Structure 1
Amino acid sequence: MELMGSTLTATYARPKTSHFLPAISTMAASYRGTQPALPMSASANQWRTSSYYKSNGPLPSTLSIQRDNLDLVRAKTMFYPSNRTALTTRYTPEDWYKSNHSNYRESESSRKSAERLRQDTIRLMQDKDQLTRRTQETTSKNLGERVSDIVFWKSELSHEIDNMVTEIAALSEVKRRLERALAETEGPLQVSQECLYHREKRMSIDLVHDHVEKDLIKEVEVIKSCQERMRRYLERAVAQLASNRAAQHELERDMSDKVTAQRIDDRCHHLRNTSNGIGYYRGIERLDPSLSLPDTWSKFTDDNILHSQSERAASHKLRDEIELLLNTTSNEMWHQFNNVNVSFTNRISETSDAKNSLQTHLAKTLQEIFQTEMLIESLKKALRDKECPLKVAQTRLEERTRRPNVELCRDNPHHRLVGEVKEIEDTIYKLQERLMEAENTLQTLVKTKVTLEHDLSVKANSLFLDQEKCMSIRKSFPSMPRLVGYT
């Protein structure tokens, strides 16, 4: 048992539960750093005995032992005055006064430091507030200028889009006219080819490579040449329309982007500190999603406008060329059409004249055939008429050969009968020759008649083909307005 008046050493054991120590107030954290903790000096601990800092021994293993020791310490401290006095007299009055003065000085220093900090902070807040307002005003001004730039380029794009839409409509109309004109050339081409096919049905000598056929072939070549040029320009018009629409699409896409950018920048321009929908976006200032600079931004739109203007100029030039082409091709086709018609008229006139001449010659030939036939009949009758006199003369000579003896005399009657027989035979021979010539002439006339009749049928066929078949279908040649695509 320990003696009374001796200093007891308290031994505290930490319980195993986690709720033994009280919670630390959060107000302590607000003073952290303003007043540093004073280090434990040796003079401040002079009153403490060495037994007070005695290290604790090994902790009991059971909770009951800890509770018994704690009760024992409390009992000894409370019931022994000498021990209670030793515990309460830890500082001297000088220490107490020094501590107070130190606290006064520290308080005064802290107040001065806090006042300086407050004044500096107020100035800093005022300066930063003015800087923030100026920066925000400058940013709003820049946004306003940006919106003005967007509005300017929007107006330029809108004007160019309107011009491009007008140009596309004009080129589309010229293209439709060119298509109609190209379709109209199919009729004249078919007419020319049908004329050539019909004229292939000419017969015999009339199947000639005349001026009409040459002009028809030239007309087919002219129409095909015009069609080929029209197709080339039609392809160019289609390609130019595609280029115009592509330029228009780029302008409209740029316009759509600028409308969106204007809406966004205008909303940003009108944002205020009291606006709704503002919030924190941490790290957004480090993100740079921009794809262009102001120079490249304006150059992009300017390039789009310049590209559209160049396409419009090319489109306008192409429209002028198509107009000139339509006028040129229509004049060429009409000129050749008139040449063919003139050739047809001349050829029909020549064929009609030839047909009339053939008819006249045929009539004369028929008359001559009739007269030759009458001559042949006359010659045949003359030959028949010479048969009896020849018989009489020959009979006389035969009868006189029966004269007896010396009476068989070569007298004058004998000589005369012999001459008569020779004369009649010579006459018959000459008449037979003339008959043969007449018959041959008749055959020639008949052949000529057949030839004339065939030629007349050929001429009639040619006239029918040229006048009825060809000229009748050539009356439907398209008019000049249709050839330039207006109707």
Structure 2
Amino acid sequence: MEFLGTTQTASYCGSRRSCLFPDPAPTSTTKDTYQSYYLPGYRYLNSWRPSLFYKVSSVPPSPDDQLNPARWPPTVLPSLRSALHARYSPHDWHQTNLVQLKGSEASRHWAGKLNTDSMRLMRDKDQLTYQMQEDSRRNLGERLSNLDFWKAELVYEQECLLTENHALETAKKRLKCAADEAQGPLQVALECLYNREKRMGIDLVHDDVEKSLIKEVDLLKDWQARMRKLAERISQQLGINRDVQHTLEQDLSDKNSAHFIDEKCFNLRNTSDSISFYHGVEKIDGTVSVPETWAKFSEDNIKSSQHARANSIRLRDETEAALENASEEMWSHFTSTNLAFNNRISEVADAKNKLQAQLAKILQEIFQTENTIMLLERSIMAKECPLKVAQTRLEGRTKRPNIELCRDAPQFQLVNEVFTIDDTLQTLKQRLREARDTLQMLVLNKSKLEHELSVKTNSFIIDKKCMDRRKAFPSTPRLVGYT
């Protein structure tokens, strides 16, 4: 039989191989077209491309084609008949077609299964990605709620602490004002003590007024020292409160920053413009706390603030009680000192009045004594002439001659008269000396009374001056620190 044309070698025919079993489905297709899915930005997925390509066989033009433009099939030349024995048999041809069909069917089945699995995998991964994104968004929302809660707690505690600091500052100012206000009564009490040192003589007595003034000075100084110590304690507490306030402000600032960042992250969507790849960011762990320690940090800050506020409240209560007690004790002691002053002034005035009355009596007695002395002197002078007469008579009678020197009655009478007048003169002179001594004593008493009266007058004036200085005493509101 003669074949027309030339036979072309089929492109699917290669080296001879066994036709008993079909070739296994190519595995390189699946390996090249499917890879594990990672998060975006970590590994780029290769586009799927089939590994089987169809090639169009090209046959170079033969010399006959060039010589025969009409392309008539030439007859088989005898020289080519020997090549017919190298061709495949029909069985090989059918077997090859069957193998090719089975291989194509297996490849198609494998590709369909791969497509189905890929679609399911993509749906699962899409759902997983969406669910994880929603979980992340929900966690961010919960985190924002926690941040809002702690922010509200910190803001409330900060406001309470600021209010307490303001109240503590007011208490400190009241203590300083009260201590300054007590300086006036203290100066008055000291001035009273200094003025009472100007008392003279026996009036320099450690009386109830001086005791009360000393107690008043000690009381005022003691309360001033206590108020200054309380003010120092308040200053220290204010320093602690400011440190706690700074901690609260820092914590609140950090939470505001975290809230802004988390809110920005919460509002991010797949269509947002600000999203980008940050390779390796998941490997960086810059966290310094866990939710428990994070919440405990703010809770400890709030507890510290509450403890500081409790100490501040106790200090304010102590300050209020101290100011009230100081005011009551100052007023009580001021009243008792004034009462002692009034009693002392009354005593001095009474003593002064008695001295004045006694001085008046002494002056009257001095006047009487001076009159008596004057009368005694006159009486003595009046007795000199009778004495002279009597003595002259006696002297004259001594000149009587001889027997006429008689101790007669006139002689006895004259002698008796001289002795009597002399005794009278001695008695009057003695009484005159006594009168003069009494006058000197009265004058001395008068001087003493006048000196004592001047002393009492001086003491009376000093105490009255002190009472005039003590008329102005701070009111209770000023003593407790209110201006």
TM-score in terms of structure 1 length: 0.76
- What residue in structure 2 maps to residue 337 of structure 1? 334
Out of 466, 472, 475, the residue aligned to residue 468 of structure 2 is 472
Separation in structure 1 between the aligned mates of residue 108 and residue 450 of structure 2, nearest angstrom: 147
- What residue in structure 1 maps to residue 482 of structure 2? 486
Greater mean deviation of Cα atoms: 170-179 or 287-296: 170-179
Separation in structure 2 between the aligned mates of residue 183 and residue 253 of structure 1, nearest angstrom: 38
How big is the shift at 1:152?
0.9
Separation in structure 2 between the aligned mates of residue 326 and residue 153 of structure 1, nearest angstrom: 39
How big is the shift at 1:220?
0.7
- SS of the equivalent of 1:460 reads helix
- What residue in structure 1 maps to residue 205 of structure 2? 208
1:224 corresponds to which letter in structure 2? K
- SS of the equivalent of 2:471 reads helix
Separation in structure 2 between the aligned mates of residue 105 and residue 351 of structure 1, nearest angstrom: 147
- What residue in structure 1 maps to residue 406 of structure 2? 409
- What residue in structure 2 maps to residue 193 of structure 1? 190
**1:283–1:414 CA distance, 2 compared to 1 (3 A):** same
- SS of the equivalent of 2:470 reads helix
- What residue in structure 2 maps to residue 124 of structure 1? 121
Out of 228, 232, 238, the residue aligned to residue 241 of structure 1 is 238
- SS of the equivalent of 1:201 reads coil
Separation in structure 2 between the aligned mates of residue 174 and residue 289 of structure 1, nearest angstrom: 46
Separation in structure 2 between the aligned mates of residue 260 and residue 149 of structure 1, nearest angstrom: 14
Greater mean deviation of Cα atoms: 385-394 or 242-251: 242-251
- What residue in structure 2 maps to residue 318 of structure 1? 315
Out of 259, 264, 281, the residue aligned to residue 262 of structure 1 is 259
Separation in structure 1 between the aligned mates of residue 190 and residue 87 of structure 2, nearest angstrom: 140
Is 1:287 the counterpart of 2:284? The answer is yes
Separation in structure 1 between the aligned mates of residue 361 and residue 315 of structure 2, nearest angstrom: 68
Separation in structure 1 between the aligned mates of residue 184 and residue 288 of structure 2, nearest angstrom: 58
- What residue in structure 2 maps to residue 386 of structure 1? 383
| Structure 2 gap ranges (5+) | 1-45, 53-85
- What residue in structure 2 maps to residue 181 of structure 1? 178
How big is the shift at 1:243?
2.1
How big is the shift at 1:121?
4.2
- What residue in structure 2 maps to residue 39 of structure 1? none
Out of 131, 134, 137, the residue aligned to residue 134 of structure 1 is 131
Separation in structure 2 between the aligned mates of residue 172 and residue 31 of structure 1, nearest angstrom: 76
How big is the shift at 1:114?
6.2
Separation in structure 2 between the aligned mates of residue 305 and residue 285 of structure 1, nearest angstrom: 33
Out of 168, 172, 189, the residue aligned to residue 169 of structure 2 is 172
**1:452–1:117 CA distance, 2 compared to 1 (3 A):** same
- What residue in structure 1 maps to residue 79 of structure 2? none
Q: Once the two structures are superposed, what CA deviation does each residue of 1:239-264 show, in whole Å capped at 9, x if it has no partner?
A: 22222222222222111111111111
Separation in structure 1 between the aligned mates of residue 126 and residue 143 of structure 2, nearest angstrom: 25
How big is the shift at 1:118?
5.2
Separation in structure 1 between the aligned mates of residue 179 and residue 408 of structure 2, nearest angstrom: 107
- What residue in structure 2 maps to residue 159 of structure 1? 156
Separation in structure 1 between the aligned mates of residue 277 and residue 466 of structure 2, nearest angstrom: 90
Is 1:219 the counterpart of 2:216? The answer is yes
**1:93–1:122 CA distance, 2 compared to 1 (3 A):** farther
1:184 corresponds to which letter in structure 2? E
How big is the shift at 1:292?
0.8
2:286 corresponds to which letter in structure 1? P
Separation in structure 2 between the aligned mates of residue 33 and residue 118 of structure 1, nearest angstrom: 12
| Structure 1 gap ranges (5+) | 1-28, 36-91
Separation in structure 2 between the aligned mates of residue 327 and residue 417 of structure 1, nearest angstrom: 99
How big is the shift at 1:296?
0.6
Is 1:251 the counterpart of 2:248? The answer is yes
Out of 432, 440, 445, the residue aligned to residue 442 of structure 2 is 445
2:178 corresponds to which letter in structure 1? A
- SS of the equivalent of 1:278 reads coil
Separation in structure 1 between the aligned mates of residue 479 and residue 155 of structure 2, nearest angstrom: 37
Separation in structure 2 between the aligned mates of residue 476 and residue 31 of structure 1, nearest angstrom: 105
Q: Once the two structures are superposed, what CA deviation does each residue of 1:419-450 show, in whole Å capped at 9, x if it has no partner?
A: 22111111111111111110110001001111
Separation in structure 2 between the aligned mates of residue 122 and residue 383 of structure 1, nearest angstrom: 166
Separation in structure 1 between the aligned mates of residue 254 and residue 232 of structure 2, nearest angstrom: 33
Separation in structure 2 between the aligned mates of residue 142 and residue 272 of structure 1, nearest angstrom: 15
Is 1:399 the counterpart of 2:396? The answer is yes
Q: Once the two structures are superposed, what CA deviation does each residue of 1:335-371 show, in whole Å capped at 9, x if it has no partner?
A: 0000011111111111111111111111111111111
Separation in structure 2 between the aligned mates of residue 478 and residue 390 of structure 1, nearest angstrom: 84
- SS of the equivalent of 1:161 reads helix
Separation in structure 2 between the aligned mates of residue 133 and residue 272 of structure 1, nearest angstrom: 11
- What residue in structure 1 maps to residue 60 of structure 2? none
- SS of the equivalent of 1:185 reads helix
Is 1:328 the counterpart of 2:322? The answer is no
Separation in structure 1 between the aligned mates of residue 48 and residue 381 of structure 2, nearest angstrom: 177
- SS of the equivalent of 2:357 reads helix
Is 1:456 the counterpart of 2:467? The answer is no
How big is the shift at 1:463?
1.2
Greater mean deviation of Cα atoms: 343-352 or 401-410: 401-410
Separation in structure 1 between the aligned mates of residue 179 and residue 102 of structure 2, nearest angstrom: 107
Q: Once the two structures are superposed, what CA deviation does each residue of 1:253-276 show, in whole Å capped at 9, x if it has no partner?
A: 111111111111111111111111
TM-score in terms of structure 2 length: 0.77
**1:257–1:460 CA distance, 2 compared to 1 (3 A):** same
1:289 corresponds to which letter in structure 2? G
Separation in structure 1 between the aligned mates of residue 197 and residue 150 of structure 2, nearest angstrom: 69
Separation in structure 1 between the aligned mates of residue 434 and residue 280 of structure 2, nearest angstrom: 131
Q: Once the two structures are superposed, what CA deviation does each residue of 1:89-115 show, in whole Å capped at 9, x if it has no partner?
A: xxx978xx99xx799799958777666
- SS of the equivalent of 1:251 reads helix
**1:122–1:33 CA distance, 2 compared to 1 (3 A):** closer
**1:283–1:362 CA distance, 2 compared to 1 (3 A):** same
